[in-house]
Amino acid sequence: MQKRIVYVTESGGYGGAEKYLVFLCQGAKDIYKNVTVALHFSESNYQLRAELQALGVEVLNAKYFKGLYPLNLFFALKFFRQITHANVHFSLPYITSCPLMLLAAYMLRRPYIITEHLSPPTPLAGGPYVLLHYCIFNFLKKRIYRRAKHVIAVSGQLKNILVQSYGMPMEKIHVIYNGISAPENFTQSADLRAILEIPPTNVVITNVARLDGQKGQEYLLTAIKDLIKDYPGLTVLLVGDGPKKEEILEQIQRYRLEKHVKVLGFRNDVPQILAISDMFVLPSLNEGFPFSIVEAMGAGLPVIATDVGGNAEAIVHGTTGFIIPPKNSSELCAKIKVLVADKEKRILFGTKAKEKALSDFSLTAMLEKTFGLYP
């Protein structure tokens, strides 16, 4: 077995792809002599960098200058010429991630594996940048896929898009779902509810996600605006930070939801927050296979999520939660209302959700299947 593993990624914040990489590094340190992570965009990956360094993982800066393709390819080739006797694993948050690092590994014939995290739009629907990237790099990326030892897709839906819309070779792609460790048995904390100023009888609806247009919190706020007319005893917790924070705060003020919605920012106590929650809502416009959904299910919460990415592969509609169309606040409002009005259904759905999360989406299985693909 080779004694070094090098992970390559780009990080513009901290989300599921970053959490995935931390889990891989934790597991890889028990197997490999050296674990290294190469990161683009040092100005925005400080949180991921800190977690990796706390694990004792070597973190390298992968030089990258936006738009300067020849220079970036030079630096990528220089990087991989220094990487020998190692397994290389690309963890790609987006279909457009790390194109020149991939090309350099391909050109130098380094052994590599690829994980794709986010279900991409079709080239024509993705906007000018995605279309330009497709025109420039997709022919090369198909060749890169063919030379890859393996490609991991985090959901079946993502695999289908890669094959049908991008022409990637189906035989190279393995579906390995994101997994969680057995959840700690956190009990509801009256202290946490008091600290967050949540009335003891309120129903708590939680969303853990970046405050980003992709995550669709605006549709949740619109649904809550309509719902509190009949159910004023609601508290919504938005856990996360991101570029849309100011817009979300403005929307909360415009809808006069200050007494109902709390924007908590990034938190290290998500398990305890889930423990005081009654349901989990993720109204995303696009996903891969969110850790947040599986973590909420593992905490025994019913989940309402949009029919994007692998969400419908995690949630059993009408049994562990509900799958709804994206960008549909009225349907989201209706499904939240079902669970707000029926405590027994909430508990039943949550129990079934926990059973499914622990049986189908374990961290141990994710790591074993992933490491089993390494040469």
pTM over 0.85: yes
* Paired tokens of 85: 């006797």
58 and 161 share a domain? yes
* Paired tokens of 69: 């393709």
Structure confidence at residue 25 (pLDDT): 96
With beta carbons less than 8 A apart as the criterion, state whether 211 and 244 touch. Answer: yes
Q: Which of 143, 175, 207 is the last residue of a domain?
A: 175
Q: 41 — phi, psi (to 5°)?
A: 60, 65
- The tens digit of pLDDT for each residue in 15-74 reads 889 999 999 999 999 888 789 999 987 666 888 999 999 999 999 988 888 778 789 899
129 and 244 share a domain? no
DSSP 37: E
CA 166/CA 123 separation, integer angstroms: 8
- CA neighbor of 70 nearest in space, from 10, 132, 114, 136: 136
Structure confidence at residue 32 (pLDDT): 83
- The tens digit of pLDDT for each residue in 251-269 reads 999 999 999 999 999 898 9
139 and 236 share a domain? no
Structure confidence at residue 263 (pLDDT): 98
CA 97/CA 82 separation, integer angstroms: 21
Total number of domains in the chain = 2
- The tens digit of pLDDT for each residue in 315-329 reads 999 999 999 999 999
Domain annotation covers residue 373:
no
146 and 62 share a domain? yes
* Paired tokens of 165: 């819309």
DSSP 277: -
Q: What percent of the chain lies above the pLDDT cut of 70?
A: 96
CATH number assigned to the domain comprising residue 70: 3.40.50.2000
Q: Which residues contact 219 (CB under 8 A, 6 or more apart)?
A: 283, 326, 327, 328, 329, 332
Q: Which residues contact 242 (CB under 8 A, 6 or more apart)?
A: 13, 210, 211, 212, 215
Domain annotation covers residue 167:
yes
- The tens digit of pLDDT for each residue in 100-121 reads 999 999 999 999 999 999 988 7
For 39, the 3-state DSSP assignment is strand
Whole-angstrom CA distances from 299 to 57, 319, 344, 347 are 29, 16, 17, 12
Q: Which of 149, 175, 201 is the last residue of a domain?
A: 175
Q: Which domain holds residue 15?
A: 4-175
120 and 219 share a domain? no
277 and 139 share a domain? no
What element of type H or E holds 100?
A: helix 99-107
CA 274/CA 264 separation, integer angstroms: 13
164 and 198 share a domain? no
Q: Which of 175, 209, 235 is the last residue of a domain?
A: 175
Amino acid, single-letter form, for residue 298 = G
Greatest alpha-carbon pair distance for the chain in Å reads 64
Q: Tell whether the torsion through CA atoms of 330, 335, 338 and 341 is positive or negative.
A: negative
To the nearest 10 degrees (0 to 180), the angle between helices 343-360 and 291-298 is 120
144 and 285 share a domain? no
With beta carbons less than 8 A apart as the criterion, state whether 295 and 180 touch. Answer: yes
284 and 205 share a domain? yes
Task: Say what the alpha-carbon torsion angle 238, 244, 66, 103 is, to the nearest 10 degrees.
Answer: 40
- CA neighbor of 180 nearest in space, from 63, 278, 333, 297: 297
* Paired tokens of 293: 């959904």
